[in-house]
Structure 1
Amino acid sequence: MSTTLTLTRGDITEQAVDAVVNAANSTLLGGGGVDGAIHRRGGPDILEECRALRDGTYFRGLPTGAAVATTAGRLPARWVIHTVGPRFTHQEDRSELLASCYRESLRVADELGARTVAFPAISAGIYGWPMEDAARIAVETVRAAQTSVEEVRFILFDEAAYEAFARQVR
Structure 2
Amino acid sequence: MPTNITLVRGDITEQDVDAVVNAANSSLLGGGGVDGAIHRKGGPDILAECRELRAGHYGKGLPTGQAVATTAGRLPARWVIHTVGPVHRSSGGDPSLLASCYRESLRVADELGARTVAFPAVSTGAYGWPLEDAARIAVEAVRETDTDVEEVRFVLFGEDAYQAFAAHVG
TM-score range normalised by the length of the shorter chain? over 0.9
Partner of 1:128: 128
Contact residue 18 and residue 114 of structure 1 kept, 8 A: yes
Partner of 1:47: 47
Contact residue 3 and residue 143 of structure 1 kept, 8 A: no
The whole-number CA distance in structure 1 between the counterparts of 2:45 and 2:14 is 17
Q: Counterpart amino acid of 1:163?
A: Q
Q: Counterpart amino acid of 1:66?
A: Q
Partner of 1:118: 118
Partner of 1:72: 72
RMSD of aligned C-alpha atoms?
1.1
Contact residue 95 and residue 137 of structure 1 kept, 8 A: yes
Q: Which moved more, 1:42-51 or 1:81-90?
A: 81-90
Question: How many residues align structurally?
Answer: 170
The whole-number CA distance in structure 2 between the counterparts of 1:151 and 1:9 is 16
Contact residue 2 and residue 142 of structure 2 kept, 8 A: no
The whole-number CA distance in structure 2 between the counterparts of 1:91 and 1:42 is 30
Partner of 1:137: 137
Residue 91 of structure 1 deviates from its aligned partner by 7.5
Contact residue 2 and residue 152 of structure 2 kept, 8 A: no
Change beyond 3 A, Cα 1:2–1:119: closer
The whole-number CA distance in structure 2 between the counterparts of 1:92 and 1:35 is 23
Q: Counterpart amino acid of 2:71?
A: T
Change beyond 3 A, Cα 1:152–1:57: same
The whole-number CA distance in structure 1 between the counterparts of 2:92 and 2:48 is 35
TM-score between the two structures when normalised by the length of structure 1: 0.98
Residue 93 of structure 1 deviates from its aligned partner by 3.5
**Identical amino acids, percent of aligned pairs:** 76
TM-score between the two structures when normalised by the length of structure 2: 0.98
Change beyond 3 A, Cα 1:91–1:31: closer
Gaps of 5+ in 1: none
Change beyond 3 A, Cα 1:10–1:2: closer
The whole-number CA distance in structure 2 between the counterparts of 1:34 and 1:134 is 16
Residue 3 of structure 1 deviates from its aligned partner by 2.4
Partner of 1:28: 28
The whole-number CA distance in structure 2 between the counterparts of 1:34 and 1:50 is 16
The whole-number CA distance in structure 2 between the counterparts of 1:123 and 1:33 is 10
Partner of 1:108: 108
Deviations for 1:77-125, whole angstroms, at most 9, x for unmatched residues?
0000000000002872311000000000000000000000000000000
